[in-house]
Amino acid sequence: MSTDIPVSRMGYLHFLRVILAKDGDQLNAISLKLKGSGVISSLTNADGIVEILPHQEGLKKGDPVIVKVFPK
């Protein structure tokens, strides 16, 4: 992850929309807008989603994540 992502409520499955950016030989997942009026339209710009599981307090910058990539 490129930044820390806290969750507002533990105990729920969260889906984080991300874009992927290459940094040398590594891919970074960059989160898109978390909430608000642009949530639905951000799906069209996202490369995929990352799941934050109910027991997780969030994600920390540098954490490895699994991205479910959308077909293009």
Q: Which of 23, 30, 26 is nearest to 48 (CA)?
A: 30
64: left (phi > 0), else alpha (psi -120 to 50), else beta? beta
Q: Is residue 49 part of a domain?
A: yes
Q: Is residue 19 part of a domain?
A: yes
Q: Flag whether pLDDT at 16 surpasses 80.
A: yes
pLDDT, position 34: 63
Q: Is residue 46 part of a domain?
A: yes
Q: Is residue 23 part of a domain?
A: yes
Give the mean model confidence (pLDDT) for residues 48-54: 94
Q: Flag whether pLDDT at 55 surpasses 80.
A: yes
Residue with tokens 């992502």: 5
What range defines the domain where residue 9 resides? 5-67
Total domains in the fold of the chain:
1
Q: Could you tell me what percent of the chain has a pLDDT over 70?
A: 93
| Residue 54 to residue 10: CA distance in whole angstroms | 6
> Do 24 and 68 form a contact (C-beta atoms < 8 A)?
no
Q: Is residue 72 part of a domain?
A: no
pLDDT tens, position by position, 21-49: 998 999 999 998 766 676 777 778 899 99
Q: Both tokens of residue 65?
A: 């994540």
